[in-house]
Amino acid sequence: MAEHRTTLDPDDWAALRAQGHRMLDDMFDYLEHLRERPVWQQAPAEVRASLRAPLPRAGSDIADLHRAFMEDMLPYAVGNAHPCFFGWVHGGGTPVGMLAEMLAAGLNANVGGRDQIPVEVERQVARWMAELFRFPDTASGVFVTGTSMANMIAVLVARRRALGAEVRDAGLAAMGQGLVAYTSAAAHDCIAQAMDLTGIGRAALRLIPVDADFRMDTQALEQAIAADVQSGLRPFFVAATAGTVDTAAIDPLGRVAEIAHANGLWFHVDGAFGAMAMLSPALAPLLAGIEHADSIAFDFHKWAQVPYDAGFVLVRDGELHRQTFAATPRYLKREPRGMAGGSPWPCDFGPDLSRSFRALKAWFTLRAYGTDRMGEAIAGTCALARYLEGEVGKRPAFELLAPVCLNIVCFRHLAPEGDLDDFNAALVADLQEAGIAAPSLTTLRGKVAIRVAIVNHRSERRDIDAMLEGLERLAERRLRSTHEKTGV
Ligand SMILES: *Cc1c(COP(=O)(O)O)cnc(C)c1O
C-alpha cells in the first residue's frame, strides 16, 4: 500500500519563500499606489464566472492562484482602503496592520484560552482601553467580530444583571417578562437586532426621538422609562450612541448616564467608531460622560484603522461579565498548572470558544503609531469634514442636511427639477460607477442625503475636492441628458 502524503508544508521552502515575498511586494505596491486606482469598479461578468468551478480535487500552483487574486479579486473589492472611499463607516487599514495579520496567521494561535502570551496581549489591550475610558482595573474586555456582536454581549450582561444567574438556565420565557430597553431613533439597527437575538424581542426596544441635532431627547427618555414603570414593565438597559451612523451625532452621554443610573438601568454606549475620538485630546471632551458607562462597544477596524475584523466590548464590572458567559464543561477544565492554567480565559467573556489573535494587530497598531498620532489622524478626518461643510456652503447647488459634529457630512444636490431623492440617489451611483469617489446614501427626516463619512487616514483635501468636482460634473451631465430626452 502506498504511503499517504499527509503534510501540507512545501517540499521546496525556498520556492515558497520567494513566492511569499512576491505576494508581500504586491500588497505594498497596492497600498503605495492606491490613489492611482478607481475607488471601486464592478466586477465584469467574466470575472464572476471565472470563480465558478467544481470542488477542486487536484491542487494548483500558488503562483497561478496569486495571479487570480491580483487580476480577478484585488481590483474588485469595495475599495475602503482608497482615500476617496467615503461610504458607510469603513476603516482604511494600514501596512502595519497588514504585517501584524501575517504574523498572527503564521502563529495560528487559538486565543479562546489557556496559558499563552497571545491571551496576555489581549488582556493588555483591554487594560489600555480601560485606561483610555477611565474604567477601573476590575473592568474586562474582549475582542469580537464587530460592534454588532459587542452590543449583543452588553445586552446579555445587562440581562444577567437584571434577572440574576438563574436566567442562564431558566431562560427568558420563564422569567424575562416585561424587560424593556431604550435607544434613540438614530441608533444603529444592530441594537434592535441584539434584542431579537437575545430573545428579548425588537418590540421591547423603545426608540426615543432625537432633537434637531439628531441627539437623543433625554426628556423623552425619562418620560418613556416612567411610563413603562407605571405599566408594570421592567426597564433594564439604555444604549446611548457616541457617533451615530447617519450623522455622527453624540447623545448627551452624561445626562443619559444620570437617568439610567437613577432608574437602576444598565448604561451602555455604542461607540462603534465615535468612541475612538478619545484618542484625540481635542475631541475627547465631546464624549464627556462615557466614563460612567457600564459597558462600551466599539471597533478598532473603523477609526482606529486596524484591519478587519476587530470589534471590542469593554465592561466595567468584569466579574459580572464573566458570570454571564463562563461555563466549564469537562473538556475545558481549568488547572492550577500546565497549559490549562491562566483562567479566566477570553472564552469566559463571550460566546466564541475558538478565536483568532485579533489583539496582535491592535497591539501593533497602537504601539507602532502611538495614540497621539492615531488621535491626530482621527482629528484630521474631522477637519476634512469641516472643510467639506464649508465647500458645500459655498455652492448654491448643494444643501447641508445635518450639522457636522465629527467626521460625517450629509448634504444633497438641489437639482432644479424632478424628484430630489431620485436625483441624489442616481448621482451617488454615477459617482461610484465612475470610480471617482464613494459616498453612500441615507435618509434624514424624509430627505435622501449624500452621506460622506471620512474615516480613512489617507483622505486629504484633494480627495474631497475630487469628489465635489465629480458630483458637480455628473449632476450637470445628468441634467443635460434629461433636457435632451424631454427636448426642453
Ligand atoms: C458600524 C456601526 C455598528 C456596527 O458595527 P460592526 O462592526 O459593523 O458590527 C454599530 N453602531 C454604529 C454606530 C456603527 O457605526
Domains of the chain: 13-40+78-93+371-488 (3.90.1150.170), 110-356 (3.40.640.10)
Confidence of residue 487 (pLDDT cuts 50, 70, 90): low
Query: Does 1 have pLDDT greater than 70?
Result: no
Residue 225 CA to ligand 1 centre (angstroms): 26
**CA 266 – CA 297 distance, rounded (Å):** 14
Check pLDDT > 90 for residue 176.
Answer: no
**What atom of ligand 1 comes closest to residue 299's alpha carbon?**
7
Which region among 38-52, 74-88, 472-486 has the lowest average model confidence (pLDDT)?
472-486
Instruction: Average the pLDDT over each of 5-9, 295-299, 352-356, 461-465 and give the range with the smallest value.
Output: 5-9
DSSP state of 407: S
Q: What is the pLDDT of residue 61?
A: 97
Q: Which three cell numbers stand for residue 234?
A: 421592567
Dist. CA 211 → ligand 1 center (Å): 22
Residue 3: pLDDT above 90?
Answer: no
User: Does the beta carbon of 289 lie inside 6 Å of ligand 1?
Assistant: no
- Beta bridge partners, 222, equal none
Residues with Cβ within 8 Å of residue 248, at least 6 apart in sequence: 273, 274, 404, 405, 406, 407, 408, 453
State if residue 89 touches ligand 1 by the CB under 6 angstroms criterion: yes
- Percent of the chain with pLDDT strictly greater than 90: 94
**What's the whole-number mean pLDDT along residues 112-125?**
97
41 CA to middle of ligand 1, Å?
25
355 CA from centroid of ligand 1 (Å): 20
The residue-averaged pLDDT of 388-409 equals: 98
Using most ligand atoms within 8 A of CB, pick from 86, 155, 188 the residue to mutate for ligand 1.
188
Residue 488 predicted with pLDDT over 70: no
Q: Quick one: pLDDT at residue 431?
A: 98
CA–CA separation, 328 vs 457, rounded Å?
A: 43
- Furthest C-alpha separation in the chain: 84
Residue 147 Cβ < 6 Å to ligand 1: yes
Nearest ligand 1 atom, CA 148: 9
> Bigger pLDDT: 485 or 430?
430
- Average pLDDT (289-314) is 98
Percent of the chain scored above 70 by pLDDT? Answer: 99
Statement: residue 352 has pLDDT above 70: yes
What's the pTM? 0.97
- Cα(347) to ligand 1 centroid in Å equals 22
pLDDT of 109 reads: 98
Check residue 285 and give its pLDDT: 98
Q: Give 249 Cα–ligand 1 centroid separation in angstroms.
A: 14
- Percent helix, strand, coil in the chain, to 5, is 50, 15, 35
Q: Are 355 and 110 contacting, i.e. CB atoms less than 8 angstroms apart? A: yes
Using a 6 Å cutoff on CB, does residue 241 contact ligand 1?
A: yes
Evaluate: CB of 184 within 6 angstroms of ligand 1.
no
Q: Is 362 a residue whose pLDDT tops 80?
A: yes
Q: Is 273 in the pocket of ligand 1 (CB under 6 A)?
A: yes
Whether 272 shows a pLDDT value over 80: the answer reads yes
Choose one of 152, 155, 190 to mutate for the ligand 1 pocket test, by most ligand atoms within 8 angstroms of C-beta: 190
Could you tell me which of 21, 418, 407, 396 has the C-alpha nearest to residue 244?
407
Mean pLDDT across the chain: 96
What is the whole-number distance in angstroms between the Cα of residue 12 and the centre of ligand 1?
Answer: 44
Residue 272 near ligand 1, beta carbon < 6 Å: yes
Distance from the alpha carbon of residue 192 to the mean position of ligand 1, in angstroms = 12
Pick the atom of ligand 1 nearest to 149's CA. Answer: 9
How far apart (Å, rounded) are the C-alpha atoms in residues 133 and 127?
Answer: 10
- pLDDT for 283 equals 98
Q: What is the pairing mode between strands 179-184 and 205-208?
A: parallel
Closest to 448 in 3D by CA, of 210, 246, 187: 246
Atom of ligand 1 nearest to the CA of 244: 13
- pLDDT at residue 248, as a whole number: 98
